[in-house]
Homo-oligomer: A and B are copies of this chain.
Amino acid sequence: MTAMPKFRNRVTEMLGVQLPIVQAPMGWIARAQLASAVSNAGGMGIIETSSGELDAVKEEIRKMRDLTDKPFGVNIAQAFVRDPGIVDFVVEQGVRFVTTSAGSPTKYTAALKSAGLTVFHVVPTLRGAIKAVDAGVDGLIVEGGEGGGFKNPRDVASMVLLPLVRSKVDVPIIAAGGIVDGPTMAAAFALGAEGVQMGTRMVSAAESPVHGNWKQAIIDAAETDTVFLNRKFGPGLRALRTDRSEALEYADHNVMGEFGNAMKLYFGGDMNASLALSGQVAGRIDEIKPVAQILEETASGFFQVIDNLARNHSVS
């Protein structure tokens, strides 16, 4: 086997990572066990704050220092963390990379940047992207509607959104939504991304702390087995198709009040106790794999796809 090429672009440079592969900040899931596995495998592990449990988050960040000496980041999910001290909190933890989401990019970008952090903002539309760039972010996480979790009710697929944003802004883009392997990473790069983020793939990883029933449900899911909820009221939500989520699909009220008991699903394995947030890529995941294997296969698959494309489409 020949040596794998190295990635070297604005994302690897700014984040200080070997692989431009970021783990998504799923609430309660994106904690030290999973994030350290991603960082140790050469990607960017992220600690979540959307659980709102800042004391627990602090402890997870402390654990990260024991579990990895590689870079890791923190996500500030603005809608869920209303404490204005969150910026000081993140800066005090010595974190160098932050993603901000679910809120205005004008709120924290300046403070985070003046503290020397690298800031990427999560955007679901071109309008959001331009607003974030105007607010001075270093880069964007461009999130297609096929991804899981909280979504813009007017969902736009990665195939449309990525090249649109790429054509209108200059900052580096990390693609989220639909990314699960080498071919999807190569497609994202063809559309202008310089990095990718994986959510559902990481929920299903060996090091993910969620109950085995959730991982099995991802493995069992077809590509049509997610539902998009709450489009009429917002925020939208993409979750695995279950009795609970199907019953809410055409609800005539805001379903945010019907999240149920997340802990009972996440860690207790009762798939109808809450909503199992997931992207359409659930239909492409057939196996629980260790994070290191996921990242290695994604990177090698990426280079193989690029190599095949170039071989088949060069001037001869």
Interface residue ranges, A against B (CB under 8 Å): 2-5, 7, 9, 125-127, 144-146, 152, 154, 156-161, 163-164, 166-167, 177-179, 181, 183-184, 186-192, 222-224, 232, 250, 279-281, 283-284, 302-303, 305-307, 309-310, 312-316
Contact = CB atoms under 8 A, between A and B. Distances in A.
B178 A160 contact: yes
A113 to B, nearest CB: 28
Nearest to A185: B190
Nearest to A177: B159
B280 A157 contact: yes
A158 B307 CA distance: 22
Contacts of A307: 310, 314
18 contacts: A4-B315, A5-B313, A7-B313, A9-B312, A125-B223, A125-B224, A146-B156, A156-B224, A156-B283, A159-B179, A160-B283, A164-B284, A184-B191, A186-B309, A189-B309, A307-B310, A307-B314, A309-B310
B187 A159 contact: yes
Contacts of A315: 2-5
B159 A144 contact: yes
A161 to B, nearest CB: 6
B280 A156 contact: yes
Given A146-B160, A166-B183, 20 more contacts: A3-B315, A5-B313, A7-B313, A126-B223, A152-B224, A156-B223, A156-B283, A157-B157, A160-B283, A160-B284, A163-B181, A163-B183, A163-B284, A167-B284, A186-B309, A190-B190, A190-B309, A232-B250, A307-B314, A309-B310
Contacts of A145: 157
A250 B232 CA distance: 8
A164 B283 contact: yes
Contacts of A158: 157, 159
